[in-house]
Amino acid sequence: MRAAPTILHLDMDAFYAAVEQAAKPSLRGKPVIVGGLGPRGVVATASYEARPFGVHSAMPTAQARRLCPNAAYLTPRFGLYRQVSDVVMGLLRELSPLVEPLSLDEAFVDLQAGDAGVETARDARAVGARLRRDIRAATGLSGSVGLAGSKMLAKIASEQAKPDGLVVIPPGTERALLAPMPVRTLPGVGPATAQTLRRSGIATVGEIVEAGEAELVRLLGRAHGTALYAMAQGIDERPVVADRDAKSVSVEDTFDTDLTDRARIHAEIARLADRCVERLRAAGRSGRTVVVKVRNYDFSTLTRSETLRGPTDDPAVVREAAARLIEGVDTTAGVRLLGVGVSGLADFTQEDLFAQAAALPADRPPRPVPPAAAGPTTGEEAVEAVRRWLPGLDVRHARYGPGWVQGSGLGRVTVRFEQPGSPPGRVRTFPVDDPELEPSDPLPLPAGQPSGDPAIRPKVIPSSDAGAPATGTSSP
C-alpha cells in the first residue's frame, strides 16, 4: 500500500442531467431524467432532484415516468457531453500524466506520477479541493472526489463524498473503514457471489477477513477467493493505466416497436454506420472489420462481420459493408435492436479506397440501400420524421433564435427558446414542417454557470487530519 493517498477518483455528479440543467435554464433545480424515451428506453442519468422519487440509472424509463411524472425527460446529447468531458479530463491531466478515464464522467488519476507534491492526507485534500473548484469554474458543474492509496478505496471514497464532496482515506485506516461495509462494496462481488457468502454467514467486509483466505478459496475458488480476501483488507495493487486502448467502436439503438420493414432497417443501419464513423474519427482511429448486430423480437442476438483489406474511417465504405451484412440476415419476424461497430482499430487510414472495392468478391458487388415500399417517403425520410423532434434536442428558429424541443405530437412541436446563461425562456408551438425551424448544434456551456438548485446542499462529511477512517469536506 502507498504511504500517502495519491490515487484520486473523480465522479461527476449526475453528469448528463447536470449538463442539461446548465444548458437549459428553465430546468435548474427541477427533476431531469436523461435516457431512452420510448417504451423500451432506459434511464441513463437522473438528476438529484429526481432521485427522491426512486428514479435511478438503468431503470426502465416507463417505470421512471410512473414514479416521477413531472420530470423533464430528455434525449441524450453525447456530442455536448463529450465536449464538457474533454474540459474536465484536461484539468485532470494538469495534475498528472497518468489519467485513466472510465467513462465521460469518471476517471482515476495517479498523483504520484505528477507534480502535485502529495505526501500527506492534508496535501491530498488540498489537491482535491482545488480540482473541484477548477471544474466548477470551467464548466459550472460539480464533481465528487475520493483520494486513497488504491483505486478501490479511492472509488469508495468518491461514493461516500456524493454529491459534491471530497473524502480522503488516510493510509492505515482502510480496514477500519471497510469492516462494517456490505460485501457488495468490493469490486467483483455481484449478486451470485454475495449470495454464496451470505449462505455462509458472511455479510460484511469485516466478516470476510474473519472467515480467512482458506474459507474464501473453498467457497469461491482460488483466484476469486484470494483476490477478495486481499481487497477486504484494503489491498489493491492495480495501477492507474493511461490511454486504455479501445478494441472497437460501436453504436446501437433499441426500437420502441419491432422493425420489419426492410427499407427502414436499411435506413437505420446506414444511420448507425454514420454515427459509428463519427465516434471513430473523434477518437482519431480507423478500423478494418465492420460488424452488424441484430437482436430479434425473441431477444436472440446475432452478429455478422466483414473484414476489409485495410483500415478505413470512410463513412461510405462502412455503410456499404454494413448494408451487405444486413442483407444476409432474416429480419422478417421483427428486430428489437440494431448495432454497427468497427473493430481491428488502427491509427491510420487506408488511403486507397479502390483497394476496398477490390477486396469485394466478384459475385457480390456493392448494393445500394433499397428504396422504400410504396408510400410518400423513403426509408431515410421515415427515420428522420420519427427522430427529428425528440425532447431535449437543439433547434433554431429563423425569427426566435436557439431553443430546445420540449415535446412533439399530432403534427406540432413545442420549443422553449432559451440558451445557456440566459433567463428561463418562452415556449412556442409550431407545425412540425415549419420551414423556419431546423435542428441545430448544441451551444457551449458558459464557464462557471451553476447547473443545479443552490438550495440543494451537498452532504457534509466531518473533516479531520487524523483519527478518523475517512476525512472530507463539503463544497466550498
- Residues with active-site annotation: 106
From the list 251, 250, 256, the residue with the least C-alpha distance to 383 is 256
Sheet with strand 72-74: strands edge to edge: 43-46, 32-35, 72-74
Cis ω for the linkage preceding 391 (within 30 of 0): no
Q: Please enumerate in sequence order all residues whose Cβ is within 8 A of that of 292, keeping only pairs 6 or more positions apart, or say none.
A: 269, 303, 304, 305, 322, 325, 326, 329, 338, 339, 340, 341
From the list 102, 81, 99, the residue with the least C-alpha distance to 90 is 99
Euclidean distance between CA atoms 126 and 103, whole angstroms: 25
Euclidean distance between CA atoms 154 and 145, whole angstroms: 8
The C-alpha cell at 434 is 415549419
- For the chain, first and last CA: distance in Å? 31
Q: Please enumerate in sequence order all residues whose Cβ is within 8 A of that of 405, keeping only pairs 6 or more positions apart, or say none.
A: 389, 390, 391, 392, 393, 395, 413, 414, 415
Euclidean distance between CA atoms 323 and 367, whole angstroms: 7
Residue type at position 403: G
The C-alpha cell at 64 is 421512471
